[in-house]
Chain A
Amino acid sequence: MNNERQNLNRQLAQMLKGGVIMDVTTPEQARIAEEAGACAVMALERIPADIRAAGGVSRMSDPKMIRGIQEAVSIPVMAKCRIGHIAEAQILQAIEIDYIDESEVLSPADNIYHIDKTKFDVPFVCGAKNLGEALRRIAEGATMIRTKGEPGTGDVVQAVSHMRLMQSEIRRLVSMSEDELFEAAKQLQAPYELVRFVHENGKLPVVNFAAGGVATPADAALMMQLGAEGVFVGSGIFKSGNPRKRAAAIVQAVTNYQDAKLLAALSEDLGEAMVGINEQEIELLMAERGK
């Protein structure tokens, strides 16, 4: 991937800012998401909550199913490949996916190496729990970052921890003197040039979204207030009582995340939220995959 392609891919992520990216499993769900105001959809066979319930190995979705969703909507379509699974990523590029999520939600294909994303023309988004992970993924060619959170739980606590940690590590880098940055790069296990960029600009060189456990308009507003530039909602919408209404409410909550009165109105009568499980009740911590 040349520099120009990398810029274009970072710039597509810029266009998604202030928006909500929704997990969908069928063309019908994709249309509901688009009508509700999703800025992109993530096409996958099973949402994280069901992946969690089913257990076993979870893989890239059937390309035919993804194409069905590409045909159903006009907004960007993303899809997930397993961490380190170069061939799955090549297949997704071949069907002209708009963004690949190299995702810890699926079973990792490689316990050590992530995909060398600089070898691809399509853009990649990757999850991160902290600044070091984020910068390593960017060095590998990711053009968008999201928090890992703990997918499929409906529990926002991990996304909050990851976003808070990342923001505080960024503030720490900003406050350092220039000669301290070399040691900081060593500690973060990240390239010096990227550490320097964060020091000078006070932000990542790519867009940073929240993901993992967002289930309500209030969750989305919380993540925006903590510095997210947009929100992924996975299981939270189509595992809830009234997906159409909840989806539209979350979209509005992201735009007006500081207006508590409006958030109160948006939070009314949404039907049941996904039941959710908390971190202590689950055996599999997806966020620990791929560091």
Chain B
Amino acid sequence: MKIAVLALQGAFIEHEQRLQQLGADTFEVRQLSDWQQPKDGLILPGGESTVQMRLLRGLGLYEPIREAILQGLPVFGTCAGMILLSDGYLGTMHIRVRRNAYGRQLGSFHTEGAVTGIGDRLPMTFIRAPYIDEILSSDCRALAEVDGHIVAAQQGNQLATAFHPELDPDLRLHQHFLQLIAEARS
């Protein structure tokens, strides 16, 4: 199993380490020629969404990535990655996201919570995080809430969290993503 990790800016190495711990191969996507390799899934990591969006467009990656996701390539976006998937950005996931929803760095926090279909007491690290304001279609479902706000969702092969599973040792969400890929391939 080979997973593309968008490596334009942000915490992409942390995702690679988690996936490698689970036995998956990864490669970094920094430009179009990287993207053209065969792949079974895609990670959109945390970082600054404004930077990543600008680089996606500037490097000609926006359309090919959007197209691949629409055709069913499994994708997992965390924090800035969730923003990229949302309405108004790549727009492949039917969610409307509020950026910096918890304010500045003093509003960053760590908690634990349940994620539907995955388990209880998952560590959740929110860094200047967004949350999902609204789910815009019935094929997209909320997987987790913190203080009444949606912080994880899934729509077909697309998985998104407002928090950063790549920063905590718990591997269940990455494991879930690999299962999603396995099901998509079979």
Contact = CB atoms under 8 A, between A and B. Distances in A.
Contacts of A14: 11, 14, 167
A74 interface: yes
A75 B46 CA distance: 13
A164 B164 CA distance: 32
Given A15-B80, A17-B13, 5 more contacts: A12-B128, A19-B48, A75-B48, A96-B106, A254-B9
A14 B8 CA distance: 14
A18 B167 contact: no
A251 B51 contact: yes
Interface stretch (B64-72, B97-105, B150-158): B97-105
A16 B105 contact: no
B125 interface: yes
A12 B9 contact: no
Most buried by B among A76, A255, A256: A255
Interface of B: 7-14, 30-31, 46-48, 50-51, 54-55, 58-59, 79-80, 99-100, 103-106, 108-110, 125, 127-128, 164, 167
A18 B8 contact: yes
A202 to B, nearest CB: 14
B125 A8 contact: yes
A17 B9 CA distance: 6
Contacts of A167: none
Nearest to A121: B106
A40 B127 CA distance: 14
B47 A15 contact: yes
13 contacts: A7-B110, A12-B127, A15-B46, A18-B8, A34-B50, A39-B48, A74-B100, A76-B105, A76-B128, A98-B104, A98-B105, A251-B51, A256-B31
A255 B50 contact: no
A171 B132 CA distance: 44
Contacts of A40: 48
Contact of B9 (A8, A18, A76): A18
Interface in A1-54: 4, 7-9, 11-12, 14-19, 34-40
A38 B127 contact: no
Nearest to B45: A15
Interface size grouping (class) on chain A: 35 or more
A265 to B, nearest CB: 12
Given A4-B110, A8-B110, A18 B105 contact: no
Given A34-B50, A74-B50, A262 B106 contact: no
A259 B30 CA distance: 10
B58 A15 contact: no
Interface of A: 4, 7-9, 11-12, 14-19, 34-40, 70, 74-76, 93, 96-99, 121-123, 248, 251-252, 254-256, 259, 262
B162 to A, nearest CB: 13
A236 to B, nearest CB: 18
Contacts of A35: 54
Nearest to A123: B105
A248 B108 contact: no
B7 A37 contact: no
Contact of A15 (B7, B99, B127): B127
Nearest to A9: B105
B36 to A, nearest CB: 15
A17 B127 CA distance: 14
Contacts of A38: 51
B11 to A, nearest CB: 5
Contact of A99 (B9, B47, B79, B105): B105
Given A39-B51, A75-B50, A15 B105 contact: no
Contacts of A4: 110
